Structure formats: structure tokens, C-alpha cells
Chain A
Amino acid sequence: MKGNKRVLALALSAVLTLTGLAGCGQSDKSAGSTAGASGGGAKSRAQDTIIYAQGADPRGLDPALVDDGESGKVIVNIYEGLLKYSKDSTQIEPSLAEKWDISDDGLTYTFYLRKGVKFQDGTDFNAEAVKINIDRQLPPKVTEDMVYAGFVFGSVKDVEVVDDLTVKINLTAPSTPFLNNLAMCMGAPMISPKALEENGNNVNEHPVGTGPYTFVSWTKGQNIVLKRNDNYWGEKAVTTNVIFKFIPDNSARVVALNNGEADIIDGIDATVVQQIEGSGNKIYKAQGMNINYLAYNTTKAPFNDVKVRTAISQAINVPELVQSLYQGYAEPATSVLPTFIPGYDASIAQVAFDQAAAKAALAGAGVSKLHIITYTNPRPYNTANGQALAEAIQGYLKNVGVTATIDAFDWTTYKEKVKAGDYDICFYGWIGDNGDPDNFMNLMADKDPRMNVARYDNAAYKELIAKGLTIPNGDERNKVYTDLEKMAAKEAVWLPISHATTLVGYRSNVKDFNYHTTGVIFLSEASKD
């Protein structure tokens, strides 16, 4: 018995040692052969592959079931919608629909579909497919976790198939932003009805669209591999393979770019620009469809008084603040709308910096203390994070004799605090959904306090918002939003702070990728030298 155990113990230690030795040997060998592995046969394939590194896995690849930017970037390369945005703005252009008519009452949209388009599984794209895609996001079929169904198709009454290539969408009320919604990467992209049926109405892991790239595989936590769709109806993709790689740590993503393990990376901030450019790589600055702002709690004294709000806004030097916090990688905001969105007008101005006037007004109103709540995480519209922003503002307020106390929370808890409403000032931001001005300006009219964090309630403002929804796109409609901007600035509901620039790092041999203002990347024209 004793002897047996000894033998077993010896055998076990031998196995352990051997495994260990084998392990050591392998490590040595691998270090030695690195140069060999990276050169040679794999090269041509590497040349024909673009690797895009982002911070996290997509939530899923079913456009109706997701709401995150990481999903959007992959989705726009696999799927297409009836309409699309133009290359450098949020103007809409034909995509799967070649043209469309809108009835005079603004209630019926007729789309004429492109002929000969096939889904990547070989089935036909037609009016029936459009109906199936929209119907699944309308009552009674819609489920609660179809995150964008209400936003994109909330105004739709029903969908009629007129003939194979003509489809009619009836709305319950006129809604001009509906056209922009159809170009979005959430909700609107067309999924193969066959794939939906085969996968239990959830194609999160089995995406099939009509786009320039076909889905190959998704290894969770690692990468998604796409391959060129050789049956694509339009201009075929230039590069054969596209790989979306997930690298959660920001500095590791930069090393991966500089080391050649990724061709394009996103989710970077101003602090690493030098490091990237110093390694011979390049930075692309995309205008961001976002706004980073300070909101007053307009329901709570003394901030229900426009004079007090104006005085606080006067105390803050926005351009100086933006320069010091974002180092030139965000534009000081003079308006709520980013400059490329219809309705933006250069004549809009916010409350100007005037320390002396602020001091006098605040002393007169007897305001010497206020309560700020903010978030601790960096956000896409505020890469410096909410706490840094709040502390900077605290400094400005101190100069005018106001003591601000700051409570900072992680983002998820913060949203609960905002909902609860116990604050004088809070910080928030917005990333545009559809490039329509209503999407931004409605934030001050929404009845949900999680959206309308200033809790602003003004009948005239709401009336204008309602008007904007019914007027067709054009100058008349744009003027409505300019008026809304002016009203909000005069009332000092928010203090708009900045529009963040999106930074993308890429290797110098990569060309022709299109990082769109909506925060997604189109890779079908991209290639490597």
C-alpha cells in the first residue's frame, strides 16, 4: 500500500516536471521564432485583411435588439436599410429604396425598392421582407427588448405590400424625422426573413443582411470575422476580410496599433495622440454627433429663476474650460446642435462669460451655495469624465463667491440620482440617434426626467417642437430649430459645453475607411497598401 503511494507520487511529480519542461521549451522556441512566423506565407492574407480594434464585444448583431455603438460598427458593414446617410453628414440618400413619395398629409410613405438585391443567404430582398422587418418591431409582435423599435417605428401604423418592389408605410401622425430614422443602424436595417425564422426571431449571433460584408464568425471576447459579399448589388468591398477585434484596455489598444496587431483603433483620447503619431501612425478626427452640457434643475428654487441660471452661466468661461479639459479634441459648444445638423445657425450664442456681472447678480439673489451631481466615468461626449468637469466648474463658481458641493457617482448609479432629481446642477450629454434636429432639441421638451434632466417645462417651446415634427425637411423646418436654440439659450436651460471630436488611430498604410459622424465605420472602400 505504502509502496504504491510512493510510486504514484513519483509518477505525478514526473508528469508535473515533464509538463513544466515542455512548457519552458515551448516558450523559448516561440520567442525565437517570432520573426519567422510574422513574415512568409501569411503576408498576402494579412494584406487583404483589415483589423479594427474596439473596446468591447457588440451586444449583438440583430439591429432590432441592440443599442450600443460597438454593435453599430459591425452592423453597418453587414446590413443596409431602405435609406442611408450621405458620406459626411446626416442628409439622407437612397439605399435599398431607390426613391420614395410622401403623401400630402405626411401620413403615407411609398418606397420603390432596388431590383435584384439579394440577402447574403441567397434569398430575395423585396417588399415582403420590408414588411416582415418592420412588423416584428410593431405591436403586437414587438418585444420590450427591441430597444429602438419605439424610436424608429413608433409613428408607424402599418405596412402594406403594394407589389414585389413597392411598399407603403402608413403613419399615425406626420413625423418628418421618420426618414432619418430609416437610415439608422439600429432598428432600421433589413434582415433576411429566412434567417429570422431559422433563428427564433433573434439573429444576434447569426446576422444576415444585404450589405458588402458577410458574417463569418464571432468568438466572444476576441473577434468578429467578416468576409466580402461577392454577390453584393453595389460596388464590391475592396478588402476581402474584415476583423473586429476587442481590446478592452485603452493603452493596450494603442500598443496593438503601434505593434501592427490592429490597423484601425477607436476609443482613444487626447493623451495618447502623441504616442500614436510618434510611432508613425495617424489620427483621424471625426466630428462627433454629440453635446456635452450642464443642466440646471429648473423646477427647484433658486434655479427656477432664469436670472440665477444666467448668472451661473456667466461665471463660466466655456472656451477656456474646454481647451484645458479636452486639449483641443473637443469644440466649445455655441449651440445644442452640432454644426453639421440641419437647423444649426452660426448666429446662435449662449450666455457670455462675465465674472463681474455674475458675482453681482448672484450676491443680489443671495445664492452662495449649490449642489452638483456628476458621474465618474469618461463618456463619449466627455472624455475627461464628469467629475473633472464638475471640479472645473466648482473652481469658476468659487471665483464668484458660490460654494459648490459635488457628489460623484458611477454612471449607472448616477442615472438613478438624476431620475430622483435632488440637485441644482447636473452634467449630462447626448449622442444623436438619427441626425435629425428634433432628436437633440426634444431633450428639453421630453416628459421623462431621465431625458429632460433640466426638467424644463415651457409650453411655447413644446409647441415649436410639435410643429417641427410636421413640417417637411427644408428651410422652413430648419428655422423652427434655430428658434428653439435661441429660446433655450435665452432661458439658460442648459449651458452647452462642448461637442467631442471622435479620434480614430490608424496605420499609415490604411486608406479610404469612412468613419461617419453617427459614430460607425464603413469599411467597404477601405484597403491597405
Chain B
Amino acid sequence: MLKYIVKRILMLIPVLLGVSVIVFLIMRVFSPDPAPIVLGQHATAETVEKWREANGLNSPIYIQYFDFIKGAVTGDFGTSYYTKTPVMKEIMSRFPATIELAIAAIILASIIGILIGAISAVKKNSIFDNSGMILALIGVSMPIFWLGILLIILFSGILHILPSGSRIDPLLQPYGGTGFYMIDTLVSGDMEAFVDAVKHLVLPALALGMYSMAIITRMTRSSMLDTLNQDYIRTARAKGIKDGRVITHHALRNAMIPVTTVIGLQLGSLLGGAVLTETVFSWPGIGHYTVECILKSDFPVVQGIVLLIACIFVLINLVVDIFYAFLDPRIKFSKKEA
């Protein structure tokens, strides 16, 4: 097992190198020159040239890439062209917001998705099943930004029970700490702030999690149906085990194996899907920020964020694979046991 994990972590290196080459080239080939954006409308050609020189943009591209990798290895992604702030600082001031949102979304999506999926399978072709599947269909087809705007209009605009966006009332905002407001407000014992943070989290998490919820619902349902038709389920029932226990212990657990992968992959893609949600809900995460930086040709920031996300995506997949082994004892990773 340990060997497998080490091997997988080592495999991270070529993946990240590949990603870094691609993002590096895409930014430089397809993005407009950052100099006029950074230096503004009054910049002379001479200033532009000087600035490009100072930021290494006049060197051959492989040297630029090499310099970038040299920095990245030591965790130094450089300084944002636009704000003159170190890239790591820019990323870290926004990253907890995205993680908090993605985790809230995946928890919400998993609970609702597995619940609806499992019940739909058990009560196949019932009204519950049909409405569950319609809900799932809506979930996969509805664009996040539209759903987000609808939620805002309903819950903030008309009902006035939830805020329309951002993470917390600025007057209650925690300072310092981890950057995860759920944790920071709890640690400081400020319950008013905690409740306010939760209220701010509900709508964006729902909007962001909707698609994943639909996928998880469908996956659980089909996987459950599959499992319920297995011989061992019939055997279990024949042994006289209670129906509820058969469903939860025998069927659901086995049906969860493919669902786990889906949840893991969804968590990764939620980080990407956060772009739209963050814009609609003024959520101060890296999703919306990335788009801003791409539009401003802020190369160092975009490179840093893409590498970070790639890294997290690969690590999540690794965790999912390891989790597999616990859910299904037949799956072993070391050669000896296979």
C-alpha cells in the first residue's frame, strides 16, 4: 500500500510538469501582451520595452520557462504583474474561500444525492423515483450561473431570508486565523458571525453543488439497481435478514464504490465550476480571480493557480483510489496481494 502511494505521488511530478508546460505556452501564445495592461494608457514604447526586459519577457521562451520552474520548485511563483503582490500571497488570501465553498457543496450534494438515488432505486418507478430523476435532469441541464441568479432573486430579492452574496457581513468578519470562516468564527466563539457565515454559504453551495448532486443521484440509483439484482442480495433476503439492513449493509455499501469515485472527481471539478458561482455570488475565491487574471494576462498568477489546482486534483484522485480499498476489500494495490 505504502509503495503504491509513494509511486502515485512520484507520478505527480510528470503530471505537474506537463500541466506547467501547457499553461505556460497557452498564456504566452494566446494572451495579449501584459505590458500595456500593466503600464496603462500613458505608457511610452520605451517604458513598455524596459518593463518587458525587467520581467524577463524578452528572453527566449525556454529560458522564461526554466526560470519559472526554478522558482516554482522552491514555492516562489513570482509577483503578480498587476498588483505587485507575491503570487502565493494573492492565492492564499483567496484559496480558503474556494475550498470552503467546494467542501460545503460536495457535502450537500453527496447527502442529498445518495439519499435520493438510493430511495429511487429501492422504490423504482414510483412517483418518488420519477420526481427524483426529473430533479436530477434539471440539475445536470441547468447552468450554474442561471440557477445562482434564480436562487438570489428568490431567497434574497423576494423572501429576504438569505444574503445575496459575499462570505460574511463585513462588520462580523473574522481577521487572521485560517481563512476558513466556519472554523475561524467557531474558534473565536462568535456565534453571530458563525451563523452569518453559514447563511452566506447556503446559496452558493447549493448552486455549485446542484450539478454534482444530480450526477451523484443518477450514479447511486443505477449502481444501487445493479447491486439489488445481485445474487448475494437475494441470498441475504433468503436468509431472512430484514429489508432495511439488506439495503443499507449489503446493497448500499457495495453500490457506493463507483459513487465514491464520482464524488472524488466531482470535488475536483467543483474547484473549476467555482468560477461561475463565485462571480454570481461575489464569493472571494480563486475561481473568479483566475478569470480576472487571465483577462489581464497576469502570467505568474495564472500559472501558480493552475499548478495548484492540478496538484489538488491529482491528490484527490489518489485519496479516492485509496479509499476504494477500504470500501471494497477485493481491491488491493500491492503486487504481492494481487
| Residue ranges of A at the interface with B (Cβ–Cβ < 8 Å) | 2, 5-6, 8-9, 12, 16, 19-20, 23-24, 26-27, 29-31, 33-34, 37, 42, 45-46, 49, 51, 56, 59-60, 65, 67, 144-145, 147-148, 150-151, 202, 204-205, 217, 219-223, 225, 241, 243, 245-249, 251-252, 255-256, 258-259, 261, 412-413, 415-416, 448, 450-451
How distant is the Cα of A245 from the Cα of B149 in the complex, in angstroms? Answer: 19
Query: Given that A5-B326, A144-B47, A248-B288 are contacting pairs, would A258 and B42 also be in contact in the complex, using a CB cutoff of 8 Å?
Result: no
Inter-subunit contact B83/A204 (CB<8 Å): yes
Inter-subunit contact B198/A26 (CB<8 Å): yes
The 8 Å CB contact of A255, one of B82, B111, B152, B171, is B152
A138 to chain B, nearest CB (A): 14
How distant is the Cα of A413 from the Cα of B51 in the complex, in angstroms? Answer: 20
Inter-subunit contact A30/B202 (CB<8 Å): yes
Report B70-98 residues with CB < 8 Å from chain A CB. Answer: 82-85, 90, 93-94, 97
Query: Given that A223-B170, A225-B170 are contacting pairs, would A252 and B157 also be in contact in the complex, using a CB cutoff of 8 Å?
Result: no
How distant is the Cα of A33 from the Cα of B202 in the complex, in angstroms? Answer: 14
Chosen A-B contacts, 26 in total, with CB atoms closer than 8 Å, are: A5-B325, A9-B326, A30-B198, A46-B171, A59-B83, A60-B84, A144-B48, A144-B54, A148-B42, A150-B43, A219-B284, A221-B94, A223-B170, A223-B173, A245-B166, A247-B166, A247-B282, A249-B282, A252-B152, A256-B282, A258-B157, A259-B157, A412-B297, A415-B36, A448-B44, A451-B41
Query: Given that A67-B40, A221-B285, A222-B170 are contacting pairs, would A259 and B111 also be in contact in the complex, using a CB cutoff of 8 Å?
Result: no
Inter-subunit contact B195/A248 (CB<8 Å): no
**B 228-264 binary contact with A (CB < 8 Å = 1; else 0):** 0000000000000000000000000000000000000
B327 within 8 A of A: yes
How distant is the Cα of A415 from the Cα of B36 in the complex, in angstroms? Answer: 9
Query: Given that A12-B326, A145-B84 are contacting pairs, would A219 and B93 also be in contact in the complex, using a CB cutoff of 8 Å?
Result: yes
Residue with the highest number of chain B CB atoms closer than 10 Å, among A37, A252, A448: A252
Q: A49 — which chain B residues lie within 8 A by C-beta?
A: 171
Inter-subunit contact B41/A450 (CB<8 Å): yes
Which residue of chain B has its CB nearest to the CB of A258? B157
Binding-face segment, B6-14, B102-110, B213-221, B302-310 = B102-110
Which residue of chain B has its CB nearest to the CB of A148? B42
Query: Given that A34-B162, A205-B85 are contacting pairs, would A221 and B50 also be in contact in the complex, using a CB cutoff of 8 Å?
Result: no
Which residue of chain A has its CB nearest to the CB of B174? A219
Which residue of chain A has its CB nearest to the CB of B323? A12
Inter-subunit contact B163/A151 (CB<8 Å): no
Inter-subunit contact A252/B326 (CB<8 Å): no
Residue with the highest number of chain A CB atoms closer than 10 Å, among B33, B45, B282: B282
Query: Given that A24-B111, A45-B171, A145-B39 are contacting pairs, would A252 and B83 also be in contact in the complex, using a CB cutoff of 8 Å?
Result: no
Q: Which are the 4 A-B pairs with shortest beta-carbon distances? A: A221-B284, A67-B40, A144-B51, A147-B40
How distant is the Cα of A375 from the Cα of B45 in the complex, in angstroms? Answer: 23
A218 to chain B, nearest CB (A): 9
How distant is the Cα of A307 from the Cα of B10 in the complex, in angstroms? Answer: 71
A60-B84, A249-B165, A251-B152 are known contacts; what are 10 more A-B pairs with Cβ within 8 Å? A20-B107, A29-B198, A31-B162, A31-B202, A34-B161, A65-B84, A221-B93, A251-B149, A255-B153, A259-B160
The 8 Å CB contact of A37, one of B47, B84, B195, B295, is B195
B196 to chain A, nearest CB (A): 6
Q: A225 — which chain B residues lie within 8 A by C-beta?
A: 170
How distant is the Cα of A6 from the Cα of B167 in the complex, in angstroms? Answer: 39
Query: Given that A37-B196, A259-B164 are contacting pairs, would A246 and B284 also be in contact in the complex, using a CB cutoff of 8 Å?
Result: yes
Q: B295 — which chain A residues lie within 8 A by C-beta?
A: 412
Inter-subunit contact B84/A204 (CB<8 Å): yes
Q: A222 — which chain B residues lie within 8 A by C-beta?
A: 166-167, 170, 173, 284
Inter-subunit contact B104/A23 (CB<8 Å): yes
Inter-subunit contact A261/B163 (CB<8 Å): yes
Q: A42 — which chain B residues lie within 8 A by C-beta?
A: 169, 171-172, 192
How distant is the Cα of A245 from the Cα of B173 in the complex, in angstroms? Answer: 12
Q: A16 — which chain B residues lie within 8 A by C-beta?
A: 110
How distant is the Cα of A248 from the Cα of B54 in the complex, in angstroms? Answer: 32
Inter-subunit contact A145/B38 (CB<8 Å): yes
Q: Tell me the number of A-to-B contacts counted with CB atoms below 8 Å.
A: 172
The 8 Å CB contact of A147, one of B42, B83, B156, is B42
How distant is the Cα of A205 from the Cα of B94 in the complex, in angstroms? Answer: 16
Q: A249 — which chain B residues lie within 8 A by C-beta?
A: 165, 279-282
| Residue ranges of B at the interface with A (Cβ–Cβ < 8 Å) | 32-33, 36-45, 47-48, 50-51, 54, 82-85, 90, 93-94, 97, 104, 107-108, 110-111, 149, 152-153, 156-157, 160-167, 169-173, 175, 192, 195-196, 198-199, 202, 279-285, 288-289, 292, 295, 297, 323, 325-327, 329
Inter-subunit contact B288/A60 (CB<8 Å): no
How distant is the Cα of A252 from the Cα of B153 in the complex, in angstroms? Answer: 9
Query: Given that A221-B94, A221-B285, A247-B282 are contacting pairs, would A204 and B40 also be in contact in the complex, using a CB cutoff of 8 Å?
Result: no
Inter-subunit contact B284/A217 (CB<8 Å): no
Inter-subunit contact B107/A31 (CB<8 Å): no
Inter-subunit contact B110/A255 (CB<8 Å): no
Inter-subunit contact B43/A147 (CB<8 Å): yes
Inter-subunit contact B280/A255 (CB<8 Å): no
A394 to chain B, nearest CB (A): 26
Inter-subunit contact B280/A33 (CB<8 Å): no
A286 to chain B, nearest CB (A): 22
A202 to chain B, nearest CB (A): 6
Inter-subunit contact B280/A252 (CB<8 Å): yes
Q: A6 — which chain B residues lie within 8 A by C-beta?
A: 329
How distant is the Cα of A368 from the Cα of B234 in the complex, in angstroms? Answer: 81
The 8 Å CB contact of A30, one of B36, B93, B164, B195, is B195
Which residue of chain A has its CB nearest to the CB of B286? A221
Q: A151 — which chain B residues lie within 8 A by C-beta?
A: 42
B116 to chain A, nearest CB (A): 14
Inter-subunit contact A31/B325 (CB<8 Å): no
How distant is the Cα of A222 from the Cα of B195 in the complex, in angstroms? Answer: 18
Q: B85 — which chain A residues lie within 8 A by C-beta?
A: 60, 204-205
Q: A12 — which chain B residues lie within 8 A by C-beta?
A: 323, 326
How distant is the Cα of A247 from the Cα of B90 in the complex, in angstroms? Answer: 18
How distant is the Cα of A123 from the Cα of B166 in the complex, in angstroms? Answer: 36
Which residue of chain B has its CB nearest to the CB of A275? B157
Inter-subunit contact B173/A219 (CB<8 Å): yes
Q: B51 — which chain A residues lie within 8 A by C-beta?
A: 144-145
Q: A259 — which chain B residues lie within 8 A by C-beta?
A: 156-157, 160, 163-164
How distant is the Cα of A217 from the Cα of B90 in the complex, in angstroms? Answer: 15
How distant is the Cα of A145 from the Cα of B85 in the complex, in angstroms? Answer: 13
How distant is the Cα of A245 from the Cα of B169 in the complex, in angstroms? Answer: 10
Inter-subunit contact B82/A220 (CB<8 Å): no
Query: Given that A60-B83, A252-B152 are contacting pairs, would A220 and B94 also be in contact in the complex, using a CB cutoff of 8 Å?
Result: yes
Inter-subunit contact A29/B325 (CB<8 Å): no
Q: A20 — which chain B residues lie within 8 A by C-beta?
A: 107, 110-111
Q: B37 — which chain A residues lie within 8 A by C-beta?
A: 412
Which residue of chain B has its CB nearest to the CB of A19? B107
The 8 Å CB contact of B282, one of A33, A150, A220, A246, is A246
B118 to chain A, nearest CB (A): 13
Which residue of chain B has its CB nearest to the CB of A45? B171
Q: A60 — which chain B residues lie within 8 A by C-beta?
A: 83-85
Q: A19 — which chain B residues lie within 8 A by C-beta?
A: 107
How distant is the Cα of A16 from the Cα of B256 in the complex, in angstroms? Answer: 13
Q: B171 — which chain A residues lie within 8 A by C-beta?
A: 42, 45-46, 49, 241, 243
Which residue of chain A has its CB nearest to the CB of B284? A221
Which residue of chain A has its CB nearest to the CB of B282? A247
How distant is the Cα of A393 from the Cα of B90 in the complex, in angstroms? Answer: 43
B187 to chain A, nearest CB (A): 16
A415 to chain B, nearest CB (A): 7
The 8 Å CB contact of B170, one of A51, A65, A144, A415, is A51
